[in-house]
Amino acid sequence: MKKSLTLIALAATAAVALSACSSPTPDDTTAASPSSSASAAGEDASTDGMQITITAGDEVITATLNDSQVSRDFAATLPVTLPWYRNGSIEYITELPAPMTETGPFYTDVQPGDLVYYNPMDSITIIYEATSSVPTLTKMGEITSDLNIFESLPDDIDMRIEAA
């Protein structure tokens, strides 16, 4: 699985590099930044969503899931423990055992703290540093804890996600 995740990370990195050099297509939707009150779908992840905790070793991280279909699918799997790995000192990624329903909207304006679903690889990513994006991400929610905690976590770690 680690080899598969490494290939996914390489593919995602290549896609990010390519997307940074291209203009958005008319199908691309850019979501509002976390500081605004609503995303492109009219969701407010910070107030209308489901509160969750992510336990990584001794650290407990809080987050909020929005009301997208993919977030509802993920919430139905909770509690769950998944293996996560650090990618490029900007994010943690986990591969899901099965795809989730993905209806968008897709966005490319990822921000530190975003929790996103990457549908081509059926993976979830926690973004903790500024980065560019690919146009196939769906925002699932936001980390509400201090993002600096991710810098002290090991590169590979199991994280347990459950409703708060």
Q: What is the pLDDT of residues 33-76, one digit of tens each?
A: 332 223 333 333 333 689 999 999 999 999 999 999 999 999 99
How many C-alpha atoms does 55 have within 13 Å on its Cβ side? 10
**Nearest-angstrom CA–CA distance, 143 and 137:** 16
Tokens of 2: 């680690």
Residue 162 has pLDDT above 60, yes or no: yes
| Cα(92)–Cα(158) distance, integer angstroms | 11
Question: Looking at residue 104, what is its pLDDT?
Answer: 78
d(CA 96, CA 25): 28
3-class SS of residue 11: helix
Burial of 58 (0-12, 13-18, 19+ CB in 10 A): exposed
- How long a stretch of residues is the chain? 164
Give tens-digit pLDDT for 73-117.
Answer: 999 999 999 999 999 999 999 999 999 988 778 888 999 999 999
At position 81, the amino acid (one-letter code) is: T
For the ranges 9-23, 49-63, 123-137, 140-154, the lowest mean pLDDT is seen at: 9-23
**Domain spans in the chain, listed from the N-terminal domain onward:** 2-22+45-163
The neighbouring-strand residues paired with 157 are 84
What is the CATH number assigned to the segment(s) 2-22+45-163?
2.40.100.20
Tokens of 17: 């590099």
